[in-house]
């Protein structure tokens, strides 16, 4: 499969060239000031010579490296071409810059014979040294940026792979639990089993036809959660009631898929199912101090001390891992006793800048 080549002079590369040009101007000003002080020359003339030589060399080398390197990731010609480019930039800059300086100061054009041997050698040495140093500096900056991009890409790919792995572990877990409940319902109440199977079919169709992206809007997470709760309502009937509270300003906040469903599964399995009369599950999202807070509470039997301190179940561990993968230490999950009984699970992580 061929990959479409990016244009050489795209905006990113042009910005890099202009940044190099600005640094070159500052460097040339320092050289001109040093020469004016040490050689007791005129500041204006030294500035014209220095800027002319520096900017011509910069333009020749910076344009040349883009043309020669083509569409490679590291925008610097490989092999002898790089050395030839620097040599060409030094030569063109030295001759062109001196020609402009001579015209500015009304001197004979490129009359190097009028230079003393020491002055000519000093001018050549300064031009070569300055050009080589600036090229090495710009090459090092470019290579450093390239390496940072490669490291960021590798970290992003590793994060994506880990999230995909966790999601592929969560989906069968939820499916196996649902099928186990469906099997028990087939014998006890066949009509409700059929209704539950229809709900499961709709849920799976929506899930499999949806995006496999690593994140989706919080509104999509709440919609998927509503489908799952409706599926569970078929089995539990009036024993399961739920409330979903999502403010409009948080609907587009990106979150990993299947982030909340394990918490709701845990509330049903450990909270409401052991309770004869069932109870209510409430899922609420809010923002506070630049963070997204999502609370999943139930009015079930509650957790014992060990479960409250450590959490329980495969799904909860997966939620913790997914938060750590995406947000590091900024992602937090806690389990505690609810204010009016039951269990309260709280997720917290930073809101993205655009949210």
Quote the Cα angle for 199-202-206, to 5°. Answer: 140
Q: Report the C-alpha gap between 224 and 316 in whole angstroms.
A: 18
Are the beta carbons of 255 and 218 closer than 8 angstroms?
A: yes
| Greatest Cα-to-Cα distance within the chain, rounded to the nearest angstrom | 109
Are the beta carbons of 206 and 224 closer than 8 angstroms?
A: yes
Q: How far is CA 261 from CA 13, 170, 214, 310, in A?
A: 45, 9, 16, 19
Q: Per DSSP, what are the bridge partners of residue 244? A: 283
- Bin 258: left if φ > 0, else alpha if -120 < ψ < 50, else beta: left
Q: pTM score, two decimals?
A: 0.52
Sorted by where each begins, the domain ranges of the chain are 11-152, 189-350
pLDDT tens over the chain, length 355 residues: 334 455 667 777 788 888 888 888 888 888 878 777 776 667 788 888 888 888 888 888 888 887 877 666 667 777 788 778 888 888 888 888 888 888 888 877 766 655 555 566 666 777 777 777 777 777 776 677 767 777 766 666 665 566 565 555 545 656 776 777 778 778 777 887 787 787 777 777 766 654 466 678 999 889 888 888 888 887 788 889 999 999 999 999 998 877 888 888 888 888 888 888 889 999 999 999 899 999 999 988 876 633 543 445 666 877 888 788 788 888 899 888 887 778 899 999 999 876 4
* Residue in the structure block whose two tokens are 């809101």: 351
Q: Report the C-alpha gap between 84 and 62 in whole angstroms.
A: 13
φ, ψ (nearest 5 deg) of residue 311: 85, 170
Q: Say if domain 189-350 classifies as CATH 3.90.950.20.
A: no
**Beta-strand relationship, 216-217 and 291-298:** unpaired
Whose CA is closest to 65, among 86, 45, 39? 86
Are the beta carbons of 89 and 82 closer than 8 angstroms?
A: no
């Amino acid at each position: 499969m061929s990959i479409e080549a990016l244009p050489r002079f795209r905006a990113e590369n042009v910005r890099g060239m202009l940044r190099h040009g600005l640094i070159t101007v500052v460097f040339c000003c320092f050289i001109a000031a040093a020469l004016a002080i040490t050689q007791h020359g005129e500041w204006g003339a030294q500035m014209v010579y220095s800027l002319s030589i520096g900017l011509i060399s910069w333009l020749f080398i910076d344009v040349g490296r883009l043309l020669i390197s083509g569409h490679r990731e590291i925008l610097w010609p490989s092999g002898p071409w790089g050395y030839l480019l620097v040599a060409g930039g030094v030569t063109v800059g030295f001759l062109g810059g001196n020609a402009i300086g001579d015209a500015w100061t009304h001197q004979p054009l490129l009359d190097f014979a009028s230079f003393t041997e020491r002055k000519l050698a000093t001018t050549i040495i300064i031009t070569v040294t300055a050009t080589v140093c600036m090229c090495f500096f710009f090459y090092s900056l470019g290579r450093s940026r390239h390496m940072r991009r490669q490291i960021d890409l590798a970290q992003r790919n590793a994060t994506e792979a880990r999230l995909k792995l966790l999601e592929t572990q969560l989906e069968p877990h939820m499916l196996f639990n649902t099928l186990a409940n469906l099997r028990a319902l087939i014998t006890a109440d066949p009509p409700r089993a059929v209704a539950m199977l229809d709900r499961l079919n709709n849920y799976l169709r929506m899930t499999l036809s949806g995006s496999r992206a690593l994140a989706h809007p919080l509104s999509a997470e709440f919609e998927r959660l509503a489908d799952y709760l409706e599926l569970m309502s078929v089995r539990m009937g009036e024993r399961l009631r739920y409330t979903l509270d999502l403010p409009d300003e948080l609907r587009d906040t990106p979150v990993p898929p299947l982030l909340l469903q394990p918490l709701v599964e845990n509330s049903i399995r450990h909270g409401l199912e052991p309770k004869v009369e069932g109870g209510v599950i409430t899922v609420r999202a809010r923002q506070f101090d630049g963070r997204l807070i999502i609370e999943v509470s139930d009015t079930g039997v509650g957790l014992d001390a060990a479960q409250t301190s450590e959490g329980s179940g495969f799904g909860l561990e997966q939620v913790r891992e997914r938060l750590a993968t995406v947000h590091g230490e900024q992602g937090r999950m806690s389990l505690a006793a609810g204010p009016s009984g039951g269990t309260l699970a709280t997720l917290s992580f930073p809101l993205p800048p655009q949210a």
